[in-house]
């Protein structure tokens, strides 16, 4: 599920690809709304999922990153990817500040770590109130994706649901609200993704759409897998 913010066109992108019982999904978030950024956002998620299905998430992310070099001014774009299938842990890879969360049936936990200036400042002991001012500045994006810069992890197979979001969702929907939505829509991943994006729409007090684009994909293991 994705929706544009108050400044069109949408510079987010999302794609889900299935082969047999395996599902690959990707969310990307472009910085700004230039024609090149929105064009890449429209094709990068599918490139990531299709390549990842055959060759793994690292190849999907790094190859999509090479696509950025086709433009005179390579667009800056964060991305997150996940692959889920029965009998295996869920694999996750990301670059930038798109996020991956996991729902164990009781709590929603952030598994990824934003690659932002704010996070780098925290690691180096900068006071939180100063670091927070730099959370919207991503240090890395697809154009810099390599085997050294892409972060990867696995979510244990027993964790039934994984959530991928752009920062238009994670910045606007607090953890408590997101957990309430998981409890309400745990049996319907599409309804859950829709609800999370809708919650981001309601993030402004005046009722207007939040400026940033918002995208969410929910992966849910079949019962008994």
With 0.95 as the threshold, say if the pTM is over it. no
Is the CATH number 3.60.40.10 carried by domain 2-218? yes
Report the distance separating Cα 121 and Cα 132, nearest Å.
Answer: 9
Mean pLDDT score, 78-87: 95
State the pLDDT at residue 225: 47
Residues 83, 86, 88: CA angle, nearest 5 degrees: 65
Inform me whether the pLDDT recorded for 207 exceeds 60. no
- For residues 168 and 213, the answer to whether their CB atoms sit within 8 Å is yes
Residue of 25 and 139 predicted with greater confidence: 25
Question: In sequence order, which ranges of 101-188 are alpha helices (DSSP H)?
Answer: 117-123, 128-131, 167-170, 175-185
Inform me whether the pLDDT recorded for 3 exceeds 90. no
| pLDDT tens-place string over residues 114-136 | 876 556 656 666 676 665 666 56
Mean pLDDT score, 63-72: 93
Mutual angle of helices 57-68 and 35-55, in 10-degree steps: 150
Lowest mean pLDDT among 74-78, 182-186, 201-205: 201-205
| pLDDT tens-place string over residues 72-81 | 989 999 999 9
Average pLDDT, the chain: 85
Could you tell me the pLDDT band of residue 200, with boundaries at 50, 70 and 90? confident
Kind and range of the H or E element at 57? helix 57-68
Percentage of residues in the chain having pLDDT higher than 90: 61
State the pLDDT at residue 212: 66
Strands (E) in the chain, as ranges, are: 2-3, 12-19, 22-30, 77-84, 90-95, 99-103, 108-110, 151-155, 161-165, 214-220
Indicate the domain borders of the chain.
2-218
Inform me whether the pLDDT recorded for 185 exceeds 50. yes
Report the distance separating Cα 23 and Cα 44, nearest Å.
Answer: 17
- For residues 14 and 28, the answer to whether their CB atoms sit within 8 Å is yes
């Amino acid at each position: 599920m994705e929706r544009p913010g108050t400044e069109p066109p949408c510079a987010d992108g999302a794609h889900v690809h299935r082969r047999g019982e395996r599902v690959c999904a990707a969310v990307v978030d472009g910085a700004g709304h230039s024609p090149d950024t929105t064009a890449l956002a429209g094709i990068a998620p599918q490139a990531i999922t299709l390549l990842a299905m055959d060759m793994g998430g690292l190849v999907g992310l790094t190859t999509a990153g090479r696509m950025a070099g086709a433009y005179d001014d390579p667009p800056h774009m964060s991305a997150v990817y996940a692959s889920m299938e029965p009998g295996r842990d869920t694999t996750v890879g990301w670059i930038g500040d798109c996020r991956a969360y996991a729902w164990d049936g009781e709590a929603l936990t952030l598994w990824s770590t934003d690659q932002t200036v704010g996070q780098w400042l925290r690691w180096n002991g900068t006071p939180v109130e100063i670091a927070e001012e730099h959370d919207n500045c991503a240090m890395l994006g697809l154009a810099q994706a390599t085997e050294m810069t892409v972060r990867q992890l696995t979510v244990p197979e027993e964790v039934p649901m994984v959530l991928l979001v752009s920062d238009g969702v994670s910045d606007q929907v607090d953890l408590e609200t997101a957990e309430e939505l998981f409890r309400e829509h745990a049996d319907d991943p599409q309804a859950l993704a829709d609800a999370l994006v809708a919650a981001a729409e309601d993030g402004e007090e005046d009722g207007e759409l939040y400026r940033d684009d918002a995208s969410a994909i929910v992966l849910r293991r079949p019962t008994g897998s």
